[in-house]
Amino acid sequence: MRVSIAAIGRMKNGPERELVARYLDRAGASGKPLALTGFDVTEINESRAGSAAARKAEEAKALRAALPEGVTVMLDERGKAIDSESFATRIGRWRDDGRPAIGFVIGGADGIDPDFVRSADLVVSFSPMVWPHQLVRIMLAEQLYRTTTILSGHPYHRGD
């Protein structure tokens, strides 16, 4: 199953981008024996439309076009908070069910178009707080790496 991230906004070169790359490289290496591949990021420019609703609609269109066919997971502060084990279990189940890909969506400063959110297979919240897209990418990349370690029984994940 291919794993992809579609995100509004571009990260500048620096420690944040390097950290995302490090976790996604690790996820790719440890995911390969688990039939989890890709771990790529598509960056989409922020919309310049005049209203927040128009920006969200325009960004949703671009995000949809960037996502692979398969499962869609939105990251949104109003989503469901789940633990790392449950996150990994869901991804493993989708893989085992033969889903071809999973696409994670990180919205822009205005959030994600509500209709697009409703179309998702899962809406996940890392916190009820709003986080900058750079930090969300880092947290998602780390959780994807953690998912591969949980699914493979690697000791990186030492939850209770």
The number of domains in the chain is: 1
Contact 5, 67 (CB under 8 A): no
Say if 160 falls within a structural domain.
no
**Chain-centre distance for alpha carbon 54:** 23
129 marked as part of a ligand binding site: yes
Residue 119 domain flag: yes
In a domain, 158, yes or no: no
**How does pLDDT run across 111-150, given as a tens digit for each residue?**
999 999 999 999 999 998 888 889 999 999 999 999 999 9
- Report yes or no on 11 lying in a domain: yes
pTM: 0.94
CATH number at residue 70: 3.40.1280.10
DSSP label at 5? Answer: E
* 127 annotated binding-site participant: yes
> What ranges make up the beta strands (E) of the chain?
2-8, 37-44, 71-80, 101-106, 122-124
Domain with 16 in it = 2-152
* Length of the chain measured in residues: 160
Rounded CA separation 24/46 (Å): 23
Q: Does 94 appear as a known binding residue?
A: no
Residue 119 counted as an annotated binding residue: no
Structure tokens at 34: 């688990």
pLDDT in tens, 96-111: 999 999 999 999 999 9
